[in-house]
Amino acid sequence: MAKKPKTAVTPTRAEDYPEWYQQVIKASDLAERSPVRGCMVIKPWGYSLWENIMRSMDDMFKQTGVKNAYFPLFIPLSFLEKEAEHVEGFAKECAVVTHHRLERGPDGGLVPAGVLAEPLVVRPTSETIIGDSFSKWVSSYRDLPILINQWANVVRWEMRTRIFLRTSEFLWQEGHTVHATEKEARERTRLMLDVYAREASEYLAMPVIKGCKTPSERFPGAVDTLCIEAMMQDRRALQAGTSHFLGQNFSRASGIRFQGADEIEQFAWTTSWGSSTRLIGGVIMIHGDDDGIIVPPRIAPAHVVLLPIIRKPEESEPVLDYVNRLAQELRDKRYHGRGLVVEIDNRDIGGARGWDWIKKGIPVRVEIGPRDIAKDSVFVGRRDRSHKDKRNMVRDQFVGGIVGILDEIQTALYERARIYRDEHTVTIDDKGAFYRYFTPDDLEKPEIHGGFALSHWCGSAECEEKLKDDLSVTIRCIPFEGEFGHSAETGRCIVCEEKSAQRVVYAKAY
């Protein structure tokens, strides 16, 4: 019997992917469940990932003219009601504030008191409360466009939660824009999707497909929802960002009117777009391996960890001196707009030290002991390679080459994910083959199976519904022209065999 390979995380992805996900988050110290139902505590290593994601996205937003602002956490019930589809979409998962005080009850315990005249909903999204402000800010075409973003927490009382992917509270950004014309609003919707796609591919090393959602998967109240979709290592799709063209629905609901250059008063055209801490879940699932997570260098909380090897007390001073000088030289370098972040880990905990950093997914580990110093060399491990694959490098070559090494890792992660996705994307025209593709061998056991199926769709909600019921498969997107998976060829719907204008991306999804 072959010996089971030792991995830092148990179970492995192949053994039990959902459980691996929970364990790898624990092992990498990214986050933990909180005692508050469905809410998470984002620990420093995880939060730093989020800070780097925020910084890179915020820069891109601002380059397109967007400015940040901040709107209230609470939404009066009456505001939420203004857009009919919108409120139906969120009513089932709203945290509702009904009291503004605590009092001692008859048994001495604290009880809610001070009933609010109108209940307040903790924002699940902010179209209606921001729309109210916009209605005051806009009166003439000269006030347009308005391009606003906010970084905030939102609450959606999900019944089944999963850390980072679906939590009752999460952190996100939500952009909201107002335009004088439909054309301009549609262009903005697309522009912001392109920003998300850039964030995913260039920073998260996450290849994505850009497309639009079917009506049943649209944001409640939107005319069109655009999205980016990525494949995780269990071959499920993750929606990594959405951008909504809201038409005039929300401007009618909130009364966002303006007088055009022609002096005619009209409703404005609005968009909204969001991405969240869910992206961290995506980074874990697309790059992680059985030894832990792997963080793409461009969003890494730290790029390099230096591990001094000290076996005798008298080695301590010269080794630490050498390590400190090396750290300083590395920290003087810049990598994609920020200084290189270098950690020195001098804990005396044996082999657990190196493994801690492997589990945390730091891009580069460097061991330095007296023998390395004597040769003026360092012993370098890269997280995109096996933990056994460590190599000697001349110290100055390492320092001179570190930025290149980080770029190589960034590219390698992207390519690995892209190849994996492409390998598990198939074109299927036969219904039986489609059903077999999405059916695991062992229905009792979690198992990695399926992938992206490029198949035809007639356009009916019924056919979507059937696949959802039968296989838990949904249409992730209708890919844009020129996008991966796009095909303008006509064909027959995979379910009903009615005419179809183009292939769409089917998958199981998070």
Which residues lie near its own copies (CB under 8 A)?
32, 34-36, 39-44, 46-48, 50-51, 67-77, 79-81, 87, 91-103, 109-112, 114, 119-122, 129, 132-133, 136, 148, 152-153, 155, 157, 169, 171
Confirm if 456 and 479 have CB atoms less than 8 A apart: no
Q: What are the start-end ranges of the E strands in 304-451?
A: 304-308, 334-335, 338-339, 342-344, 364-368, 377-382, 390-394, 425-427
The count of C-alpha atoms lying within 13 angstroms of the C-alpha of 425, restricted to the half-sphere facing its C-beta, is 22
Minimum separation from the CB atom of position 444 to its own copies (A): 33
What is the C-alpha separation between 268 and 273, in angstroms, rounded? 17
Two structure tokens written together for 470: 């039968």
Which is nearer to its own copies, 67 or 183 (by Cβ)?
A: 67
CA distance 76 to 457: 40
For the CB of residue 34, give the shortest distance to its own copies in the complex, in Å: 5
- Nearest distance, CB of residue 114 and its own copies, angstroms: 8
- Specify the residue, 55 or 431, whose C-beta has the smaller distance to its own copies: 55
273, 196 in Cβ contact below 8 A?
yes
Q: Of 284 and 467, which CB lies nearer to its own copies in the complex structure?
A: 284
Among positive and negative, which fits the CA dihedral 22, 23, 27, 32?
positive
- CA 215 to CA 359: how far, in whole Å? 41
* Residue 474 burial (CB count, 10 A): 20
Q: Which is nearer to its own copies, 48 or 233 (CB)?
A: 48
Minimum separation from the CB atom of position 334 to its own copies (A):
14
Smaller CB separation from its own copies, 168 or 410: 168
Nearer CB in complex with its own copies: 308/479? 308
**Tokens 């292939």 sit on residue:** 503
> CB of 207: closest distance to its own copies in angstroms?
28
Least distance in angstroms from the C-beta of 25 to its own copies? 14
Nearer to its own copies, 23 or 214 (CB): 23
Shortest Cβ 332–its own copies spacing (Å): 16
Q: What is the DSSP string of 111-170?
A: EEEEEEEEEEEEPS--HHHHHHHHHHH-SBGGG--EEEEEEEEEE---SS-BTTTB-SEE
